[in-house]
């Protein structure tokens, strides 16, 4: 169905993502990313890491898929946090990307972070 193996890439990304929750960063009660978001530096942290890993791809260990998975992972974290902040601001949850698109899907009420709520704290 997919011309560029997107389904396989998403499957591999999910395996990568699951493996990160078994890694040393997630062994404590709170992950470093949570602390960074709670200090209101999360957006820059995610964007900076997306740039870093995208720029590094093909240079460190060749065309290492882990670098691309990290780009996607930081983008997914940013999507999740942005959506949680938007939902909190407007008081509703969307069930799908299509719902998000239909309601305008924007949130720009400053730099408040809902990281503790988003991460289950």
d(CA 40, CA 119): 14
- Residue 108 maps to a domain: yes
Number of neighbours of residue 118 by Cβ within 10 angstroms: 20
User: Region 70-79: what's the mean pLDDT?
Assistant: 96
| Mean of the per-residue pLDDT values of the chain | 82
- pLDDT for 116: 47
CA 46 to chain CA centroid, Å, is 8
Domains in the chain, number: 1
pLDDT tens track for 89-114: 888 777 776 766 655 555 444 444 44
- Residue 1 maps to a domain: no
- pLDDT for 112: 46
- Residue 112 maps to a domain: yes
- Residue 92 maps to a domain: yes
Number of neighbours of residue 102 by Cβ within 10 angstroms: 10
- Residue 43 maps to a domain: yes
- pLDDT for 55: 96
- Residue 105 maps to a domain: yes
- pLDDT for 103: 56
- Residue 91 maps to a domain: yes
Host domain of residue 21: 6-118
- Residue 49 maps to a domain: yes
Top pLDDT among 28 and 52 is at: 52
Lookup: tokens for 97 = 């990307």
Q: Is 45 exposed, middle or buried (0-12, 13-18, 19+ CB in 10 A)?
A: middle
């Amino acid at each position: 169905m997919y011309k560029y193996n997107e389904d396989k890439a998403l499957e591999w990304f999910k395996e990568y993502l699951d493996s990160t929750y078994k890694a040393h960063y997630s062994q404590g009660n709170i992950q470093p990313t949570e602390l960074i978001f709670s200090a209101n530096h999360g957006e820059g942290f995610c964007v900076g890491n997306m740039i870093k890993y995208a720029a590094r791809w093909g240079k460190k260990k060749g065309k290492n898929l882990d670098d691309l998975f990290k780009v996607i992972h930081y983008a997914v974290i940013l999507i999740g946090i942005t959506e949680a902040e938007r939902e909190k601001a407007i008081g509703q949850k969307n069930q799908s990307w299509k719902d998000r698109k239909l309601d305008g899907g924007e949130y720009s009420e400053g730099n408040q972070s809902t990281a503790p709520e988003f991460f289950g704290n």
